[in-house]
Amino acid sequence: MKDSTLSAPAHQITAPQDSAEIDLTELIRTLWRGKFWIALCVFIAIVLGGYYAFFKAVPVYTSSAVVMLESRQEQVVDLESVMTGLSGDQATINTEVEVIRSRGLIEKLVNKLNLMEDPEFNPALRPPRVFSPGRIINQVREMISGEPTAVRQPHERESLDAVIDSVINTISIINLRQSYVFEITAATKDREKSAAIANTLASLYILEQIEVKFAATEQATEWLSERVGQLQVELETAVAKVKEFNSGTALISPEALVGLNRQLKETRDRLREAQQSKATATARMAELEAVQATGTPEEIAEVANDTTLTRILRVMEDGNRKAFDTRFSQVLERAQLDVTRADSQITALESSIKTQDAQIERQSADLVRLQQLEREAEASRLIYEYFLNRLKETSIQQGIQQADSRVLSQAVVPLRPSSPRKPLILALSMVLGLLIGAAIVLIREFAQNTYRVAEDLEAKTGYSVLGQIPAIPARKRKNVLKYLSDKPTSAAAEAIRNLRTSVLLSNLDQPPKIIMSTSSIPGEGKTTQSIALTQNLARMDKKVLLIEGDMRRRIFAEYFDIKDRKGLISVLSGDVEFSNAVIREPALQADLLIAEKTTTNPADVFSTERFRSFLDNMREKYDYIIIDTPPVLAVPDARVIGQCVDAIIYTVKWDSTSQRQVLEGLRAFESVNVRVAGLVLAQISASGMKRYGYGDSYGAYSSYYDS
């Protein structure tokens, strides 16, 4: 055994991780490999699309009428309409589109064209389908219950609603961008019907506008007539109240009230003057009475300021004051008379002021009431005149209503159907076939969990592939060596030679002498590969020993006639000599040491020092020793034997062994510090490679199969 086999592995196996990046080159290669499936899907899709377009699809004829919204309307008379025209903004245009699609307008269309009697729109007039869901459900119910299911007949309104829904689905209204133009399109199975529906709907839409305006005007006229009558009664009542008020009150006017106010002001001015005069007279009288009591004649004459009294004072003799006193008394009486007269005048003026105030207050209230009644009458008159004028204008407008739209072009009867569009259907079928085919190829590729090419095997495991062995076309295992001998230039024989070369050159410093062959699970071709490699090495005039290391299955008996022969266990136990147990197989041209059935666990046998010593002895006798071991995932034998060999060949069955099984098997060797020399992709199917699109990758062997 070489020390290199016990060294730590060169790398660690990790499960493949999905990359976030997409390799476009690999994606294109994958699609190219699946070109047959893609072409088949395209062909099937085109056939189905062609059958639908040319045989199955019902021709549909499309016809369009063009309606334009009138943004400017001619005014016959300069009167304000009850309903104004459309503004022409985007919201109004969108609203008109929905008006054309409204169920009320479509119902008029259905009734005018009698579409209730058309089977294309009325499902009740169509013959029942054999495989309709409703019919199948009724039949199932009848089978379960054993009684016939009563078929519910739809009401007349339900049938009408169903026809309206069908008509709406066949009609489309489009507003041409940046314009006031609507395109009303109808698509039916009859060319004339399509044109009739489009033209009729356009006419009904325009007539609907006129009818709506006429109805609105008529309703406004009725309302205005009733309102004018009410306003006339209100006006007459208001005028009568004014007349009645005028007849029950004195004649008043704003001018007269202003005169009364002016007169009141003058009276108040006179009252203030009278009060001042009274104050002056009272003060004079008080002054005269005061001077009379204490003053001298000269002082009295000065205060009295009376010419006669002054003259009497000049001629008056001493002691003779009779004339003076008489005159002063007259002056004092006159002062008292002035006070009395002022009092009388003040009283009279105050009474006059009260009278004038009452008169002004009364007339002001009457004037306010009169003005209020007059304003109410005037307001009623204005409202009445406005409504009367509006009634007359509305009555005149009933005969001059105009639609807000007009038909720009009538729908014409189409010459050819608008659908099915056969070239488009075929093109879409081809695209759909491409997509489906590509999806099938990619899904199959992404779902693939096995190995088909050496590059993939190397990329996923990190180990190099030493050989690619095609499936040997031998029905029985005994014919394998005969096939390789009879056809030395076959693809299988050449693959074995390539494997031999790769194994021997895997370590130039220490060429391997003991080679172990194993796999993940049974049935991967490792035994056939071991026998073929032994035969190939023996033909190089090398002394080769083939050891059967699978003591559980012992399938060498299916390849060679070796019944009732001693084998490895007898040699290791010392029951027989190696020379008596070894078998010289002529077809193999090498020595063969078979396995024997034993009650001891084979892994324990291979773990003994006796087995190691046996291999060391065989190393001296033979040029090469090939050991065929059990699968590594089934039993631990391969990992135990792997500690004693120079090179391990790990066999992977083409398109069969899962990636997880391979990775777990390789990881099992690494867990015991055993290095695998390389991998072998075995039992490759040439036809399978071509089917998967890898024919170019396996083209080196195709010529041998052809020959």
Q: What is the CATH number of the domain that holds 615?
A: 3.40.50.300
Same domain, 468 and 373: no
pLDDT at residue 523 greater than cutoff 50:
yes
Q: DSSP assignment of 377-439, as one string?
A: HHHHHHHHHHHHHHHHHHHHHTT----SEEEEE-----SS-SB--HHHHHHHHHHHHHHHHHH
Residues 6+ apart with CB under 8 A from 301: 309, 310, 313, 324
Q: Domain containing 327: what range?
A: 255-377
Please indicate, yes or no, if residue 44 is contained in any of the structural domains.
no
Helix axis angle for 297-304 and 307-315, nearest 10°, is 160
Q: Reduced to 3 states, what is the DSSP secondary structure of residue 614?
A: helix
Residue 699 has pLDDT above 60, yes or no: no
Domain identity same for 468 and 342: no
Winning range, highest mean pLDDT, from 140-144, 482-486, 678-682? 678-682
> Alpha-carbon distance 43 to 37, whole Å?
10
Which is nearest to 28 in space by CA: 534, 367, 441? 441
Residue 16 pLDDT > 60:
no
558 lies in the same domain as 463? yes
491 and 358 together in one domain = no
pLDDT of residue 681: 92
634 and 492 inside one domain: yes
Average pLDDT (106-113) is 91
CB 445 within 8 A of CB 694: no
Helix axes 156-170, 103-113, angle to 10 degrees: 100
Q: Of 250-254, 381-385, 470-474, where does the model show the most confidence?
A: 381-385
User: Model confidence over 33-87: pLDDT tens digits?
Assistant: 788 888 999 999 999 988 888 888 888 999 999 988 876 554 444 455 554 556 5
Q: Which residue has the higher pLDDT, 644 or 393?
A: 644
**b/e 404-436 (16+ beta carbons within 10 angstroms → b):** bbebeeebeebeebeebeeeebbeebbebbbeb
- 3-state class of 304 per DSSP? helix
Give the global pTM: 0.53
76 within some domain: no
> Where residue 692 falls among pLDDT bands split at 50, 70, 90?
low
Contacts (Cβ under 8 Å, ≥6 apart) of 299: 291
pLDDT tens, position by position, 539-549: 899 999 999 99
**pLDDT value of position 617:** 92
Give the model's confidence band at 196: pLDDT under 50 very low, under 70 low, under 90 confident, else very high: very high
Cα separation, 69 vs 404, whole angstroms:
6
Contacts of 599 (CB under 8 A, 6+ apart): none
Q: How far is CA 403 from CA 69, 204, 211, 221, 432, in A?
A: 9, 11, 9, 19, 49
How many structural domains compose the chain? 2
Give the model's pLDDT for residue 516.
94
- Show which of 332, 347, 377 is a domain's final residue: 377
pLDDT at 318 over 60: no
| Separation CA 425–CA 571 (nearest Å) | 78
What's the pLDDT score for residue 133?
Answer: 61
Give the pLDDT mean for 305-316: 78
Best-predicted range by mean pLDDT (225-239, 379-393, 639-653): 639-653
Residue 160 parent element (H or E): helix 156-170
- Evaluate whether 652 touches 457 at the Cβ level (below 8 Å): yes
Same domain flag for 280 and 367: yes
**Mean pLDDT, to the nearest integer, of 135-151?**
63
Residues 527 and 675 in one domain: yes
Please tell me the predicted confidence (pLDDT) of residue 199: 92
Q: Name the domain boundary from 377, 406, 426.
A: 377
Residue 399 has pLDDT above 70, yes or no: no
Strand runs (DSSP E) across 488-638, as ranges?
514-519, 544-548, 583-585, 590-593, 624-628
From 362, 377, 392, give the residue that closes a domain.
377
Distance between terminal CA atoms of the chain? 43
- Answer whether 430's CB lies under 8 Å from 43's CB: no
- Whether residues 528 and 615 share a domain: the answer is yes
Tokens of 477: 């295992």
The helix or strand, by DSSP H or E, that contains position 477, with its residue range, turns out to be: none
Mean pLDDT across 167-175: 90
Same domain, 361 and 491: no
Q: Give yes or no: residues 373 and 460 share one domain.
A: no
Mean pLDDT of 143-167: 73
Judging by beta carbons within 10 Å of its beta carbon (0-12, 13-18, 19+), is residue 577 exposed, middle or buried? Answer: exposed
Is pLDDT above 60 for 616?
A: yes
- What percentage of residues in the chain have a pLDDT greater than 70? 86
Please check whether residues 369 and 457 belong to one and the same domain. no
Q: What is the model's pLDDT at position 487?
A: 85
pLDDT category at 148 given cuts 50, 70, 90 is low
Please name the residues in contact with 246: beta carbons below 8 A apart, sequence gap of 6 or more.
Answer: 370
Asked if residue 430 is part of any domain, the answer here is no
pLDDT attached to residue 42:
92
Note whether residue 658 is domain-resident: yes
405-409, strands of its sheet edge to edge: 171-175, 181-188, 61-69, 405-409
For residues 162 and 192, the answer to whether their CB atoms sit within 8 Å is no
pLDDT at 644: 92
Which residue matches tokens 């009445």? 384
The reply to whether 237 falls in a domain is no
pLDDT of 159 reads 86
Q: Tell me, what's the pLDDT at 146?
A: 61
Quick one: 359 and 455 in the same domain? no
Give residue 226's pLDDT. Answer: 87
Q: How far apart are CA 641 and CA 549, in angstroms?
A: 9
514-519/624-628 β-pairing: parallel
Helix and strand tally (H, E) in the chain?
24, 12
- Residues in contact with 536: Cβ distance below 8 Å, sequence separation at least 6, in sequence order: 484, 493, 496, 497, 500
Question: What's the whole-number average pLDDT of the chain?
Answer: 82
Q: Which of 86-90, 327-331, 420-424 has the lowest mean pLDDT?
A: 86-90
Please say if the pLDDT value at position 373 is more than 50: yes
Which candidate, 428, 445, 391, 408, places its Cα nearest to that of 82? 391
CA distance 6 to 644: 9
| Closest C-alpha to 181, from 261, 283, 69, 81 | 69
- If one counts every other C-beta atom within 10 angstroms of the C-beta of residue 131, the result is 6
Within 10 angstroms of residue 178's Cβ, the number of other Cβ atoms is 6
In a domain, 118, yes or no: no
Q: Mind listing the pLDDT tens digit for each residue in 266-302?
A: 888 888 888 888 888 888 888 877 877 777 777 777 7
Q: Which residues contact 11 (CB under 8 A, 6 or more apart)?
A: 462
Q: What number is the average pLDDT over the span 169-197?
A: 89
As a whole number of angstroms, the distance between CA 616 and CA 644 comes to 9
Q: What is the pLDDT of residue 543?
A: 94
DSSP state for residue 453 in the 8-state scheme: S
Amino acid at the residue 377: A
- The whole-number pLDDT of residue 332 equals 82
Q: Is residue 401 part of a domain?
A: no
φ, ψ (nearest 5 deg) of residue 451: -110, 135
What is the C-alpha to C-alpha distance for residues 707 and 699, in angstroms, rounded to an integer?
13
370 within a domain of the structure (yes/no): yes
Q: What is the pLDDT of residues 431-484, one digit of tens each?
A: 998 999 888 888 877 777 888 888 888 988 999 999 998 988 877 777 788 888
Closest CA to 461 of 265, 679, 609: 679
Q: What is the mean pLDDT of residues 107-119?
A: 90
Distances (CA, A) of 510 to 59, 503, 506, 507: 81, 12, 9, 6
State the residue for tokens 């459900």: 137
